[in-house]
Every structure is written in structure tokens, then in C-alpha cells.
Amino acid sequence: MSRVRIPPVLRETVGGARELEAAGDTVLEVLDDLFAQHPALRERVTTDGKLSPFVNLYVNGRDVRYTTGLATSVGPDDQVILLPAMAGGSS
């Protein structure tokens, strides 16, 4: 099982959890497992089966949009982070 960090804005859809465990060897499988546990999460995170443009997903800190997307492999010790896409902060 990999650990998935849920941002505050999505916690209402998962009963308030800050982190969840999900099974799967790829991001797609991990998300499917999450959606099976918490169906309300699906429409907030994906649009037409793709990551919504305003959500970023990272595996061990690396944004999957720039690697292999939903096909990115996820190991049992990997950390998955979901975050709203935003300005970095800037200065």
C-alpha cells in the first residue's frame, strides 16, 4: 500500500483524513482504489479520466505530468501527494 497525502481542500470528500493508504502499482490504480473507497473524490481530482488541470500529483515529490502521467509506477514505500495547482509563492 502506498501513502497518499490529501490536501485540506479535498478532505471533506474523504471523511477528513489527511493521509490515506491505497493499493496499486501505478498512479491510475492507486487513484482507482482511492475512488472506490471515497467516490466523492473522483470528480474533484479527475476530468474525463485525466488529472484535472488544477490538481497536481507527485510521486516522491516528482510531478507525474512531466514523467509518465497516470501510468507512473508507484512502489509500496512511495509517497503520493495531491495538491491544488497554484502559484508557488513567489517573492
Least distance (Å) from another protein to the CB of residue 53?
Answer: 7
Cα 59 from chain centroid (whole Å): 9
In angstroms, rounded to a whole number, what is the distance separating the alpha carbons of residues 50 and 27?
11
The answer to whether 84 contacts another protein (rule: CB under 8 A) is yes
The answer to whether 54 contacts another protein (rule: CB under 8 A) is yes
26 backbone φψ class: left, alpha, beta (φ>0; ψ -120 to 50): beta
| Complex with another protein: residue 76 or 89, whichever CB lies closer | 89
Is residue 64 within 8 Å of residue 39, measured between CB atoms? no
Least distance (Å) from another protein to the CB of residue 12?
Answer: 11
Q: CA angle, corner 60, sides to 70 and 14, nearest 5? A: 65
Applying CB under 8 A, the span of 22-30, 31-39, 53-61, 69-77 interacting with another protein comes to: 53-61
Chain residues in the site for another protein (CB under 8 A): 7-10, 44, 52-56, 58, 61-63, 65-67, 81, 83-91
